[in-house]
């Protein structure tokens, strides 16, 4: 492995400089927001270790988000961000909470920024980061004033799009990476891949799965054990059973919860058929289902009936270790890869 003074490490620092400047961190590695997992402990550990942590607001109320931000601030003086889901019915109230705390970076996930949200975030000086699931949307988001993009492929854990990280990176990085910083996410388990995406023009990367088993992560021991046991092929995408009910696929470890989700979809599709709910409400019910199922696995440790959301990089998670060590390993691997390029 290389040391911090090697050519590889210098090259890595140079390639990460823009991402670090944007984030205000020492390394351009974000820990992607993970509902129930990305709370004060993991977020502060990530930022304290030189990376960039993100609080997953998920389905939290504005009051809970307020408490979580305050608690995170008590644990770190380094910058961190907040990830909000666009579908949240109180999105504007959540943004107001971020304003109150002068949060420096806000990530909007789950769709294009709804009316008023972009202005409300930029108005108090926060940097806005959005997910770009296609080149056309990346360009549209940049035109609308978004400060940075996350390009996330279907290898990722949690809610996913249909296209792989490698294809999205090839399509999007050459076109827009000079305009705004782009962070690549999905399927990254080792530093060699980080070096590759930086070489392609990424400003940095976002990892989720690789940080779930951090010592500082509050995920239940059963959740962490399931990760350590699993291989890439165990992390599969959920299946849409009814064409009328467009559900966003979720990547998670195979278990009985997959069947429960099929039953849930049938139940919601029936409510739609009977005219008892509108499409928006139907989709919200599906999202609430996921939030509950993920909580059951992450917090209660029921890894059979709960949702063990995990990306395909889960096979590269081998043990529980502190965030600082995970970052050090990733950085050493990336530096080593760039060192070899020099030959
Ligand atoms: C358990 C779990 C929960 C997640 N929850 C969220 C979430 O609430 N909001 C979000 O934007 N992304 C969520 N994600 C995606 C991550 O933020 C991150 O983008 C993704 O994990 C990166 O891909 P990787 O898993 O291959 O590293 C979740 C991922 C996992 C594994």
In tens, the pLDDT along 128-171 reads 999 999 999 999 999 999 999 999 999 999 999 999 999 999 99
Q: Could you tell me the residue range of the domain that residue 304 belongs to?
A: 221-312
Ligand 1 site, residue 9, Cβ cutoff 6 A: no
Residues 263 and 207 occupy one common structural domain: no
Residues 307 and 337 occupy one common structural domain: no
Residues 42 and 22 occupy one common structural domain: yes
The answer to whether the CB of 313 falls within 8 A of the CB of 187 is yes
Q: What is the DSSP letter of 56?
A: E
Give the mean model confidence (pLDDT) for residues 210-238.
Answer: 98
Residues 65 and 182 occupy one common structural domain: yes
Identify the H or E element spanning 88.
none
Give the mean model confidence (pLDDT) for residues 163-192.
Answer: 98
User: Separation of 186 CA from ligand 1 center, angstroms?
Assistant: 9
What are the tens digits of pLDDT across the range 297-337? 999 999 999 999 999 999 999 999 999 999 999 999 999 99
Atom of ligand 1 nearest to the CA of 207: 27
Ligand 1 site, residue 158, Cβ cutoff 6 A: yes
Residues 78 and 214 occupy one common structural domain: yes
Residues 182 and 253 occupy one common structural domain: no
Count of Cβ atoms closer than 10 Å to residue 11 Cβ: 20
Helices within the chain (DSSP H only): 7-23, 40-48, 62-75, 91-100, 117-123, 135-143, 165-176, 191-199, 221-229, 257-273, 279-298, 323-341
Closest CA to ligand 1's atom 13: 34
Quote the mean pLDDT of the chain.
95
The span from the CA of 230 to the CA of 314, in Å, is 6
3-state secondary structure of 115: coil
Of 185, 190, 236, the closest CA to residue 207 belongs to: 185
What are the tens digits of pLDDT across the range 267-296? 999 998 899 999 888 888 888 898 899 999
Residues 146 and 59 occupy one common structural domain: yes
Ligand 1 site, residue 157, Cβ cutoff 6 A: yes
pTM score, whole prediction = 0.96
The answer to whether the CB of 151 falls within 8 A of the CB of 181 is no
Residues 169 and 94 occupy one common structural domain: yes
Identify the H or E element spanning 314.
none
What are the tens digits of pLDDT across the range 75-93? 999 999 999 999 899 999 9
Domains in the chain, number = 2
The three-point CA angle 55-59-61 to 5° equals 85
Ligand 1 site, residue 72, Cβ cutoff 6 A: no
CATH number, domain with residue 33: 3.20.20.70
Closest CA to ligand 1's atom 11: 109
């Amino acid at each position: 492995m290389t040391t911090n003074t090697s050519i590889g490490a210098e090259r890595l620092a140079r390639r990460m400089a823009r991402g670090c400047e944007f984030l205000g961190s020492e390394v351009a590695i974000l820990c992607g927001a993970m509902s129930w997992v990305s709370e004060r402990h993991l977020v502060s550990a990530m930022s304290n270790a030189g990376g960039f942590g993100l609080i997953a607001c998920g389905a939290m109320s504005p009051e809970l988000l307020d408490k979580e931000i305050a608690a995170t601030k008590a644990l770190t003086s380094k910058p961190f961000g907040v990830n909000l889901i666009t579908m949240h019915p109180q999105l504007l109230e959540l943004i107001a909470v971020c304003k109150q705390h002068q949060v420096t970076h806000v990530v909007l996930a789950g769709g294009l920024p709804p009316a008023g949200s972009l202005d409300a975030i930029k108005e108090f000086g926060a940097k806005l980061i959005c997910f770009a699931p296609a080149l056309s949307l990346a360009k549209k988001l940049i035109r609308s004033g978004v400060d940075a993009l996350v390009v996330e492929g279907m290898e990722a854990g949690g809610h996913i799009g249909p296209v792989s990280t490698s294809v999205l990176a090839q399509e999007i990085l050459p076109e827009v990476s000079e305009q705004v910083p782009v962070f690549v996410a999905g399927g990254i388990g080792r530093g060699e891949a980080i070096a590759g995406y930086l070489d392609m023009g990424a400003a940095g990367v976002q990892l989720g799965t690789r940080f779930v088993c951090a010592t500082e992560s509050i995920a239940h021991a059963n959740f962490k054990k399931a990760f350590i046991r699993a291989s890439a092929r165990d992390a599969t995408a959920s299946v849409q059973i009814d064409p009328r009910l467009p559900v966003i696929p979720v990547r998670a470890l195979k278990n009985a919860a997959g069947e429960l989700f099929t039953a849930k979809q049938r139940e919601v599709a029936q409510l739609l058929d009977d005219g008892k709910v509108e499409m928006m409400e139907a989709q919200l019910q599906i999202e609430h289902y996921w939030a509950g199922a993920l909580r059951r696995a992450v917090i209660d440790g029921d890894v059979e009936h709960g949702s063990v959301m995990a990306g395909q990089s889960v096979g590269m998670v081998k043990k529980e270790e502190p965030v600082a060590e995970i970052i050090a390993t990733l950085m050493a691997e990336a530096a080593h890869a760039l060192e070899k390029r020099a030959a």
